[in-house]
């Protein structure tokens, strides 16, 4: 349980950190990224994408997984977590702040930063990248930096530092643990 909890909390913290610098490119099966273009809560979509990536990272980095376990991990549906993330974000931010966050993260140039950040995450997990994303321009980096200094940007930064709050972290840890246990993986620590 400790390992899975750390994985879930680590994933959550990484997503939230990357949300201010980027992530968006899970795999061909991910529909959350496409949905994010019209979603009312783009950050929840990005988190679902990152959860899917984390599972791919587990598959990629764990050398002792059987083919059955890898197939089982492939079938884990993280889309159910979007509602949980959305609920926690709605507790942390008012409607105006959520709109401001969603408007910012919906911009094409910010989506490009998100894609680049997620690609970096994939590379760090030892995953192969078929199409490289262009590194963000200085102008785009400044746009992100300026937003991070805004009132809602700073509030989002605090939300990120806390891992989305204890309740969200626990829910993600429980999800990871339950799903991975179904695949015959358990935490022996």
Could you read off the pLDDT of 41-78 as tens digits, one per residue?
788 888 788 788 888 887 877 778 899 999 999 999 99
pLDDT-based confidence at residue 118 (cuts at 50, 70, 90):
confident
Note if the pTM is more than 0.75. Answer: no
Rounded-to-integer distance, Cα 145 and Cα 138, Å: 10
Question: Which tokens is 15 given?
Answer: 């997503």
- Decide if 187 is inside a domain: no
- Decide if 188 is inside a domain: no
Rounded-to-integer distance, Cα 5 and Cα 13, Å: 12
What's the pLDDT at 85? 85
pLDDT-based confidence at residue 138 (cuts at 50, 70, 90):
very high
pLDDT-based confidence at residue 29 (cuts at 50, 70, 90):
very low
What's the pLDDT at 142? 93
Number of domains in the chain: 1
- Decide if 47 is inside a domain: yes
- Decide if 22 is inside a domain: yes
- State the distance between the two ends of the chain, measured CA to CA, in whole angstroms: 7
- For 71, the domain range is 2-182
- Decide if 83 is inside a domain: yes
- Decide if 8 is inside a domain: yes
Rounded-to-integer distance, Cα 160 and Cα 162, Å: 5
């Amino acid at each position: 349980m400790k390992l899975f909890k750390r994985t879930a909390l680590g994933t959550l913290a990484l997503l939230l950190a990357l949300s201010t610098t980027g992530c968006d490119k899970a795999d061909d099966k991910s529909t959350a990224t496409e949905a994010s273009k019209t979603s009312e809560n783009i950050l929840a979509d990005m988190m679902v994408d990152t959860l899917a990536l984390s599972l791919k990272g587990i598959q990629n980095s764990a050398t002792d997984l059987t083919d059955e376990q890898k197939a089982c991990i492939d079938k884990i549906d993280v889309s159910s977590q979007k509602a949980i993330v959305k609920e926690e974000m709605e507790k942390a931010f008012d409607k105006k702040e959520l709109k401001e966050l969603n408007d910012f993260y919906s911009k094409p140039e910010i989506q490009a930063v998100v894609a680049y950040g997620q690609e970096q995450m994939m590379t760090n997990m030892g995953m192969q990248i078929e199409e490289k994303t262009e590194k963000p321009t200085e102008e785009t980096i400044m746009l992100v930096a300026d937003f991070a200094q805004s009132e809602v940007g700073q509030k989002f930064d605090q939300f990120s530092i806390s891992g989305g709050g204890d309740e969200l972290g626990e829910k993600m840890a429980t999800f990871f643990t339950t799903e991975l246990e179904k695949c015959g993986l358990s935490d022996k620590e």
